[in-house]
Structure 1
Amino acid sequence: MIGSSELIINNDKSIFHLHLKPEHIADHVLLVGDPARVQLIASHFSNIEYKIQNREFVSTTGTYQNTRITVISTGIGTDNIDIVINELDALVNIDLETREVKAEKRSLNIIRIGTSGALQKNLPVNSYVLSRKAIGFDGLLNFYANRELISDLDFERNFINHTAWNSLLGKPYVVDSSPRLYDRFQGDHFTEGVTISAPGFYGPQGRILRLETADPLLNEKVECFFYNDLQITNYEMECSAIYGLSALLGHEALTVCLIIANRTTKEANENYYPAMEKLIKLVLDKLST
């Protein structure tokens, strides 16, 4: 039995942060950072079952072309992903009445639709990256047991050696996307990527305003790193935790990102909404076929 301090249930029987109940969760779950993007996605649904909000966590479940889909906004960062993935899993794999783990587990398809900054010149603004692997600079997965069982340890060793990784920083971890979801989504619209999830927008991604970074050459090292035929393509702030926690808990996970800035060419597109609309439609169509 899981104690009430570990699994907090609200008075209305919903889970603590998300304010959701088990019946609210579809098999397909779309995660977005921006709460406003939930409504953008839901505008494509033929019907809406519910909309629930608590803090930055806005959730809607509805139907797109006969496919039931849940959309949840996570806010920014892997700390929020820790909340969202653990609470989603609890909703489908823990009996909230008895506080016991269910014998039969349910696996969700968890797909993040996000924005990102490119690290390679061949990734123009408004292109789409399908993250085959995620590198976590955030350190979150290192707090969980057995993380080495779902990590690409050889990739990690090569990356740490190549960058002469600063031991004062959290140890990077590398996790694959769901092979099943990756195969389902790959195609002409998407560029294969290796995505870094950073624990911040400025220093952790090499941006300098008034504070210098611990390793001013880190982005240069990242850009020229190769592992087999793979090259690091982009920065964002959530993918690694989604991949790692989903793999440990038995869920399928994938991230697709719209490139809204290129760090090497110094280009950016603040008006990226039409390209995001197109990406949303691509994802919804992939899930409904």
Structure 2
Amino acid sequence: MSTPHIAAEPGDIAERILLPGDPLRAKFIAEHFLENAKQYTSIRNILGYTGTYKGVPVSVQGTGMGIPSISIYIHELIATYGVKKLFRVGTCGAMHKDVKLRDVLIAQAATTDSAILRNIFGPSINFAPIADYSLLERAVSNARRLSLPVKVGNIISVDRFYDEEIDNEKLTKYGILGVEMEAAALYTIAAQFHVQALAIFTASDHLLTGEGCTAEERQNTFCDMIRIALETAVET
């Protein structure tokens, strides 16, 4: 039953899953948020665990960085292991003046410069990758219940981390809140397979102010977005 990238057996992976890019963040989530967590894969040192949160089975799986990498894991998780609810929990670069360092952003939609959409739909269709509305609505409600401020809006998923050609000023003018590298693939593949997906981010650096968090902070903190994702996962 294992795939080329996930060494799990049937039943090892829950229908609800959190998807950090960093495998060590997956380990952190399993150790600090899940009960009785067991590791089910370590292929390529990309770690996956399943445990329970408030008695409900939940998995957490590292995905690596970028649309090509997360696309592999999402496809295998859905098509082979039957995952139904996927929550990306990762970092993003803040782009808007109203977003502060460590703010939590929920991606209502994911603009992208990736060719993934043209590869699927051709040049005449500009598909709009969007979040599952019920997950989005419940995540916002849970954030309010937990007194955790969030900002909801459009983000951009880019193919290049170091991109000197991208027009950040224009993107900000059109309301883009932050930049990351995976959500557009998550929303597109979720739509293909008719499953639910939501991307939640913590702003780890800021394109306008130059502020940034350390690598250790990125790996081991940013717990607010994890709590929101888990609370939403287990109630749906």
Q: Work out the CA distance in 2 between the residues paired with 1:223 and 1:50.
A: 40
Residue aligning to 1:139: 115
Q: Work out the CA distance in 1 between the residues paired with 2:123 and 2:16.
A: 24
Q: Do 2:96 and 2:178's aligned partners in 1 also have CA atoms closer than 8 Å?
A: yes
Corresponding residue to 1:122 among 84, 94, 98: 98
Provide the secondary structure at the position in 2 that maps to 1:144.
helix
Q: Do 1:258 and 1:275's aligned partners in 2 also have CA atoms closer than 8 Å?
A: no
- The Cα of 1:200 is off from its aligned counterpart by 1.5
Residue aligning to 2:217: 272
Q: Which has the larger radius of gyration?
A: 1
- The Cα of 1:275 is off from its aligned counterpart by 4.6
Provide the secondary structure at the position in 2 that maps to 1:174.
coil
Residue aligning to 1:16: 4
Report the TM-score, using the length of structure 2 for normalisation. Answer: 0.87
Corresponding residue to 2:170 among 200, 218, 221: 221
Provide the secondary structure at the position in 2 that maps to 1:176.
coil
Q: Do 1:114 and 1:256's aligned partners in 2 also have CA atoms closer than 8 Å?
A: yes
Residues 125 and 16 of structure 1: CA distance in aligned 2, closer, same or farther (over 3 Å): same
Residue 288 (structure 1) aligned with residue 234 (structure 2)? yes
1:159-208 per-residue CA deviation (whole Å, 9 max, x = no partner) reads: xxxxxxxxxxxxxx5311001110110144210121100012101xx4xx
Q: Work out the CA distance in 2 between the residues paired with 1:49 and 1:40.
A: 13
Q: Do 1:26 and 1:69's aligned partners in 2 also have CA atoms closer than 8 Å?
A: yes
How many pairs were matched up? Answer: 226
Structure 1 stretches of 4+ moved >6 Å = none
1:245-269 per-residue CA deviation (whole Å, 9 max, x = no partner) reads: 1111111010000001111122222
Q: Work out the CA distance in 1 between the residues paired with 2:123 and 2:196.
A: 16
Residues 38 and 127 of structure 1: CA distance in aligned 2, closer, same or farther (over 3 Å): same
Q: Work out the CA distance in 2 between the residues paired with 1:146 and 1:19.
A: 34
- The Cα of 1:287 is off from its aligned counterpart by 2.6
Residue 29 (structure 1) aligned with residue 17 (structure 2)? yes
Provide the secondary structure at the position in 2 that maps to 1:88.
helix
Provide the secondary structure at the position in 1 that maps to 2:230.
helix
Q: How does 1:238-277 map to 2 (within 5 A)?
A: 238-270=182-214, 272-273=217-218, 275-277=221-223
Residue aligning to 1:163: none
- The Cα of 1:145 is off from its aligned counterpart by 5.1
Provide the secondary structure at the position in 1 that maps to 2:222.
helix
Q: Work out the CA distance in 2 between the residues paired with 1:128 and 1:260.
A: 10
Q: How does 1:39-50 map to 2 (within 5 A)?
A: 39-43=27-31, 44-50=33-39
Supply the RMSD in Å over aligned alpha carbons. Answer: 2.2
Residue aligning to 1:161: none
Report the TM-score, using the length of structure 1 for normalisation. Answer: 0.72
Residue 237 (structure 1) aligned with residue 181 (structure 2)? yes
Gap runs ≥5 in structure 2: none
Provide the secondary structure at the position in 2 that maps to 1:183.
helix
Residues 60 and 275 of structure 1: CA distance in aligned 2, closer, same or farther (over 3 Å): closer
Q: Work out the CA distance in 1 between the residues paired with 2:202 and 2:171.
A: 20
- The Cα of 1:91 is off from its aligned counterpart by 1.2
Residue aligning to 2:133: 179
Provide the secondary structure at the position in 1 that maps to 2:101.
coil
- The Cα of 1:276 is off from its aligned counterpart by 0.9
Q: Do 1:126 and 1:275's aligned partners in 2 also have CA atoms closer than 8 Å?
A: no
- The Cα of 1:141 is off from its aligned counterpart by 3.0
- The Cα of 1:241 is off from its aligned counterpart by 0.2
Question: Residue type matched to 1:196 in 2?
Answer: I
